[in-house]
Amino acid sequence: MKALCWQGKNNVQVETVNDPGILNPRDAIVRITRSAICGSDLHLYDGYIPTMEPGDILGHEFMGEVVEIGSGVKNLKKGDRVVVPFTIACGTCFFCQQQLWSSCDNSNPNAWIAERMYGFSGSGLFGYSHMLGGYAGGQAQYARVPFADVGPIKIPEELNDEQVLFLSDIFPTGYMAAENCDIKPGDVIAVWGCGPVGQFAIRSAFLLGAERVIAIDRFPERLQMAGAGNAEMINYEEVDDVIEVLKYLTGGRGPDACIDAVGMEAHGHGMFSVYDSAKLALRLSFDRPTALREAIQACRKGGVLSIPGVYGGWLDKVPFGAIFGKGLMVRTGQTHVHKYLKPLLERVQRREIDPSFVITHRVSLQDGPEAYDMFKKKQNQCVKVVLDPWKEARAA
Amino acid sequence: MSSSIEKPVAQKNYAVGEPNGRCRMRRARKAVSLISGVGLAIFGISRRSWTGAALASAGGYIVYRGIKDRTNGITNIIEVSYTINRSAEEIYRFLRHWENILRLVPNLVNVHDRGPGLALIFGGRFGEFEIRTQPIDQRENQFVAWESMADSAFQHRGSLELREAPGKRGTEVTLAFGYQLPGGGLGRGLTAVFGEHPEQQVRGGLRRLKQLMETGEIATTAGQPTGRRGIKGRILESLYREKMPPQGVERSARQPMIVGD
Ligand SMILES: NC(=O)c1ccc[n+]([C@@H]2O[C@H](COP(=O)([O-])OP(=O)(O)OC[C@H]3O[C@@H](n4cnc5c(N)ncnc54)[C@H](O)[C@@H]3O)[C@@H](O)[C@H]2O)c1
Ligand SMILES: [Zn+2]
Ligand SMILES: [Zn+2]
């Protein structure tokens, strides 16, 4: 089959690899009909996530048709159309039973690496480094899906692929980020980053009853997309101080909750950015928490700091005193995707939201490498790229 | 035979400065992991009662303390705990099936029940080694303890305990193992067969037990497709143990030969 493989920093290639097969009884094989490139993939592309190997198959946002099932999978059959959550979870461990799916105890074959780094290991993920399982990903024509009896959700015929593909990650991720804000009537939510995750966080905040949402980014097309979702917009390159603007917009209170949908590769501005670049150059640190610092500083007393943006290692100059001084509640982590599949699918069915609004580019797998480059550089007003793994095959 | 101690480890006082076994472990890099192997094998083999021959009155707790005692030439100590979301009865029963043991224990090839004691045959690409060990005590659904026979080249002792976890979280499983690596050729050979990271192997064994008990399978990526690895990729592949099949998959059908008894 054809697959997008990581071959090092800024180097993704289309390769012909073996088709996946069933390895465990609870596996299924899915013929992928749509797959997406995620902001998280950019952290791999930019070489920020350790334990990647040249040749790793990328991709964790995918859906398709079940073509093979292991002997332990009773709830799926060949031909079922499913969306696959990017977190791999067993369904029976303590964490899965608490709905903490991305903390599953049993799905990471390389748990020992994560245990050394973090004390304990989270769940395995598709296509996201060996520390997090080393599973082959879904930017390919087929994928093996472990624990297929608990993960994939069946999709009713009346919904098309683009409407449901993002149940695999970014819709639940934005939704969980908003849910973590404990939104009450009258609440004002600020969202750093208007990438796909930020876009879903904005819309989810409204779905969950936010009074106002303020979106922060520097790309006009992304801010406009946020605006189309009823958010107010701050282009941080056009204002002197984001925190002051937020104070003004909230009558001096500060946002009730702040969402960092940017993560470890935040674009640097402000007083610490030179310092961050120097540290990065010296390899003393690999995360750049610009947006996180701002979010901490801006948040109102007793507010919530919700962090869907990915961080990998040690953070420097994080104003922890402000977290303490204002009694902030911090919530973060990989999304517990399984928990949100059904309720969010129902919201799509009820037409409360059509997740395909974020898609700006549709390309074939063959064009994947250029798409990575374009998405990284935010060229051509790119917000979200969807891949069709069979486009060439059909044309031929 | 019975012991008056109900929950061995519950009485252990962690505040009373136990020497840090892990740091020592790291210094003693060249070491062997038989740990899970020896301990779990005893579960599987002890179909007849061992308690008669055992130091039963000492009880599992005393044995456990003994493992942590660095006199008697035992200097390497490993202790690993996992909570398994199953009852102690289920875990104990599971461990009494040979097919299950074989899926858990790396490199265990064969077991001879010669009485007194067991001869465990471990093998790898570099040859086979016999480890002579004997159960010294066990209590159903609670613990099993064992130590090397006096004539064993590999001196060790160990215990595996099952304790109920609070809040219906299942069972806390602790494997403690102390050993002294023999010098000379045998020591080097053992290191070659079992690798240089015994603690990781113990963790691996116990984690496989947890995975099998909780999910019915062992998580793996061995055999999945990959793109071109190149030289760098191949080095990393072995570092992350990608090519290692989940233990025992290819031999689970094979019954081990138990000689004697
Ligand atoms: N928690 C999870 O499970 C999960 C799931 C998916 C993605 N993520 C993470 O969410 C983050 C966003 O993902 P995405 O797909 O939207 O990525 P993206 O790269 O498309 O979007 C990031 C956005 O942040 C903006 N930005 C950069 N620096 C900024 C700053 N200082 N202030 C404000 N905005 C800034 C960029 O302009 C960009 O629009 C990534 O870190 C990704 O890894 C987490
Ligand atoms: Zn993603
Ligand atoms: Zn689980």
Helix, strand, coil abundance in chain B, percent, nearest 5: 40, 25, 40
To the nearest whole Å, the CA of A110 is away from the closest chain B CA by 7
pLDDT of B156 above 90? no
B85, B215, B235, B247: best to mutate for the A interface, most A CBs within 10 A: B215
> Which of ligand 1's atoms lies nearest the C-alpha of A38?
15
pLDDT of A378 above 60? yes
Mean pLDDT of chain A: 95
Return residues 96-115 of A near B (CB < 8 Å): 97, 105-113, 115
pLDDT of A225 above 90? yes
Residue A227, pLDDT score = 98
pLDDT tens per residue, range A311-358: 988 888 899 999 999 999 999 999 999 999 999 999 999 999 999 999
Which residue in this structure is represented by tokens 């208007």?
A194
> Which of ligand 1's atoms lies nearest the C-alpha of A310?
41
Residues of B in contact with A97 (CB under 8 A): 85
Cβ atoms A150, A93 nearer than 8 A = no
pLDDT of B47 above 50? no
Low-confidence winner among A136-150, B91-105, B225-239 (lowest mean pLDDT) = B91-105
Low-confidence winner among B7-21, B139-153, B176-190 (lowest mean pLDDT) = B7-21
- B49, part of any domain: no
Low-confidence winner among A255-269, A373-387, B170-184 (lowest mean pLDDT) = B170-184
Residue A16, pLDDT score = 98
Residues B94, B86: Cα–Cα separation, whole Å = 11
Residues A145, A82: Cα–Cα separation, whole Å = 11
More confident residue, B22 or A128: A128
Q: Which of A338, A56, A387, A39 is nearest to A176 (CA)?
A: A338
Return residues 10-39 of A near B (CB < 8 Å): 13, 15, 17-21, 23-26
pLDDT of A380 above 80? yes
Return residues 149-178 of B near A (CB < 8 Å): 169-170
pLDDT tens per residue, range B52-107: 333 333 344 444 555 555 556 677 788 889 999 999 999 998 887 766 776 777 67
- B31, part of any domain: no
Please judge whether B214 and A133 are an interchain contact, meaning their C-beta atoms are less than 8 angstroms apart. no
Residue A324, pLDDT score = 98
Residue B7, pLDDT score = 29
Residue B129, pLDDT score = 74
Residue A286, pLDDT score = 57
Low-confidence winner among A274-288, B39-53, B187-201 (lowest mean pLDDT) = B39-53
Residue B77, pLDDT score = 81
A195 ligand 1 Cβ < 6 A: yes
Contacts with B23 (C-beta within 8 Å, 6 or more apart), sequence order: none
Tokens of B7: 């929950």
User: Which structural domains are found in chain A, ordered by start?
Assistant: 2-169+335-388 (3.90.180.10), 171-332 (3.40.50.720)
Residues A63, A81: Cα–Cα separation, whole Å = 8
Low-confidence winner among A325-329, A371-375, B227-231, B243-247 (lowest mean pLDDT) = B243-247
Residues A311, A369: Cα–Cα separation, whole Å = 24
Q: What domain range is B196 assigned to?
A: 2-19+76-254
Residues of A in contact with B232 (CB under 8 A): 53-54
Residue B25, pLDDT score = 30
pLDDT of A240 above 60? yes
Residue A237, pLDDT score = 94
- B94, part of any domain: yes
- Number of A/B CB contacts below 8 angstroms equals 119
Nearest CA residue ID for atom 8, ligand 1:
A309
The CATH number given to whatever domain includes residue B106 is 3.30.530.20
Taking residues B192-205, report their average pLDDT.
Answer: 69
DSSP state of B9: G
Taking residues A155-181, report their average pLDDT.
Answer: 98
Please judge whether B215 and A92 are an interchain contact, meaning their C-beta atoms are less than 8 angstroms apart. yes
Percentage of chain B modeled with pLDDT above 90: 18
Nearest residue of A to residue B223, measured between CA atoms: A23
Residues B57, B41: Cα–Cα separation, whole Å = 23
Residue A283, pLDDT score = 54
> Which of ligand 1's atoms lies nearest the C-alpha of A170?
6
Burial of B231 (0-12, 13-18, 19+ CB in 10 A): exposed
CA trace torsion A44, A50, A56, A62 (10° rounding): -50
- B120, part of any domain: yes
To the nearest whole Å, the CA of B41 is away from the closest chain A CA by 23
Low-confidence winner among A210-224, A329-343, A349-363, B189-203 (lowest mean pLDDT) = B189-203
Return residues 319-358 of A near B (CB < 8 Å): none
Contacts with A252 (C-beta within 8 Å, 6 or more apart), sequence order: none
Nearest CA residue ID for atom 11, ligand 1:
A309
Please judge whether B219 and A133 are an interchain contact, meaning their C-beta atoms are less than 8 angstroms apart. yes
Residue B202, pLDDT score = 77
How many separate domains does chain B show?
1
Taking residues A170-176, report their average pLDDT.
Answer: 98
Low-confidence winner among A24-28, A358-362, B199-203, B249-253 (lowest mean pLDDT) = B249-253
A310 ligand 1 Cβ < 6 A: yes
- B183, part of any domain: yes
pLDDT tens per residue, range A72-131: 999 999 999 999 999 999 999 999 999 999 999 999 999 988 888 889 999 999 999 999
Q: What is the pTM of this model?
A: 0.87
B204 contacts chain A (CB < 8 A): yes
pLDDT tens per residue, range A244-254: 999 999 999 99
Please judge whether A135 and B221 are an interchain contact, meaning their C-beta atoms are less than 8 angstroms apart. yes
- B243, part of any domain: yes
Tokens of A76: 């799926």
Residue A61, pLDDT score = 98
pLDDT of A50 above 60? yes
Identity (one letter) of the amino acid at A214?
I
- State the distance from the centre of ligand 2 to the C-alpha of B92, rounded, in angstroms: 41
Please judge whether B222 and A93 are an interchain contact, meaning their C-beta atoms are less than 8 angstroms apart. no
Gyration radius of chain A's alpha carbons? 20
Please judge whether A135 and B224 are an interchain contact, meaning their C-beta atoms are less than 8 angstroms apart. yes
- B123, part of any domain: yes
Contacts with A307 (C-beta within 8 Å, 6 or more apart), sequence order: A177, A259, A260, A292, A295, A330, A331, A332
Tokens of B32: 């062997």
Taking residues A258-269, report their average pLDDT.
Answer: 89
Residues A364, B123: Cα–Cα separation, whole Å = 49
pLDDT tens per residue, range A175-201: 999 999 999 999 999 999 999 999 999
pLDDT of A11 above 90? yes
Taking residues B186-190, report their average pLDDT.
Answer: 65
- B200, part of any domain: yes
Residue B56, pLDDT score = 35
